[in-house]
Amino acid sequence: MARWITQDIASRLMNALGPLAVKIENIGPGGDVDTENLLIDIQHSPGYEDKRFWVCGFDVKNDPADPADCEVEFVQLTDGDDSRGGLNSNSPNMALAYVKIREELQGLGFDVVDSMDEYF
């Protein structure tokens, strides 16, 4: 388990992504089992559809008491295109951003998964 602190994670991801990140938006908790959700808009790759990532922590055993600051088992990382989760875009900027986001989250001690659907 690792500690999810929304503001800290958003800042770290912005730094890790550098110019690839257009903005990171906290859209609040998505449900009973997850943390505050971050939407990450990625710099447009010419000739490709614009995309964004959706990142949130979750725990299958305990609901987070404070979705902005809590311990979680997993972090979901998806471009949100469909229920497959993970990276579905073929945009070069999205592929590079996916690797950078995943590396940063793993470096913080999170177990990164494509989708929380398989856990519930």
pLDDT in tens, the chain (120 residues): 899 999 999 999 999 999 999 999 999 988 878 899 999 999 999 999 878 999 999 988 888 889 999 999 999 999 975 657 899 999 999 999 999 999 999 999 999 999 888 777
Return the pLDDT at 7.
Answer: 97
Query: In the block, which residue shows the tokens 């990450």?
Result: 40
Q: Name 11's Cβ contacts closer than 8 Å, sequence gap at least 6.
A: none
Return the pLDDT at 81.
Answer: 59
CA-based nearest residue to 118, from 55, 61, 76, 67: 76
The pTM is what? 0.93
Return the pLDDT at 82.
Answer: 60
DSSP string, 46-84: TTS---EEEEEEE-SSS--SSTTEEEESEEEEE--SSTT
Return the pLDDT at 83.
Answer: 59
